[in-house]
Structure formats: structure tokens, C-alpha cells
Amino acid sequence: MNPSESETEYIARMEFEKKQKVEREKHKALAEEEKQKLKEFHFMRCPKCGMELIEIDYKGIKVDECSECEGLWLDAGEFESVSKLEKSGLDKLFSVFKK
Ligand SMILES: [Zn+2]
């Protein structure tokens, strides 16, 4: 192999790595975009039936009730807050959702 040939390969490899990097960056951006789209699509939607959630704030605990299947959903850490409520507080919280 003469020196000019190995230089040609080196340049080709550099070119390949450059393009590969560009593609990988695109994939990364695409994955982020997809994540963002999924978030927008599912935000404030019931995880079971996909209908809109109605959020109420009770003493700083945000409870989401599904407008369709009436499932109740809590954000991270909120179950702990609910578990710390007195029985009367719990009754009051659930009375918000009673028909
Ligand atoms: Zn639902």
C-alpha cells in the first residue's frame, strides 16, 4: 500500500465518521422530539382510557379524576400526602368526587 492510498482511506474514514456523527445527532434529536410529542399527546389524559383528566387541588394535593372512567390519579409523592391526611380530611377529599 503506498502512502497516498492510506491517505485516501484516512480521508474516507474521516468523512464516514463525520457523517455518522451527524446521523447519530439526528437520531438523538428525533428521540427527544418523539418523547416531547408523546408527552404532549398524553398530558392530562387518563392512562387507562385516554380521556381528559380533571385536576383538583385539595390542600396542595393535586388529584386527577378521569372525566370518562372516573379513575383517580396521583402525581409522584402525593399518595404519601394522602396517607398523612386525617380520616375527616380523607372523607372531605373524596366527597369532592362523589356524585
Ligand atoms: Zn379513564
Give the Å distance between the CA of 99 and the centre of ligand 1: 16
Give the Å distance between the CA of 48 and the centre of ligand 1: 5
Give the Å distance between the CA of 92 and the centre of ligand 1: 22
Mean pLDDT of the chain: 92
C-alpha distances (whole Å) from 62 to each of 39, 72, 75 are 19, 10, 7
Q: How far is CA 79 from the centre of its chain?
A: 19
Strand ranges inside the chain, DSSP E: 53-58, 61-66, 72-74
pLDDT-derived band of residue 1, with 50, 70 and 90 as boundaries? Answer: low
Q: Are strands 61-66 and 72-74 parallel, antiparallel or unpaired?
A: antiparallel
Give the Å distance between the CA of 68 and the centre of ligand 1: 5
Strand order in the sheet with 53-58: 53-58, 61-66, 72-74
Give the Å distance between the CA of 76 and the centre of ligand 1: 19
For the entire predicted model, the pTM comes to 0.64
Q: What are 47-96's pLDDT values in tens digits?
A: 999 999 999 998 889 999 999 999 999 999 998 998 898 899 888 888 88
pLDDT-derived band of residue 2, with 50, 70 and 90 as boundaries? Answer: low
Give the Å distance between the CA of 43 and the centre of ligand 1: 13
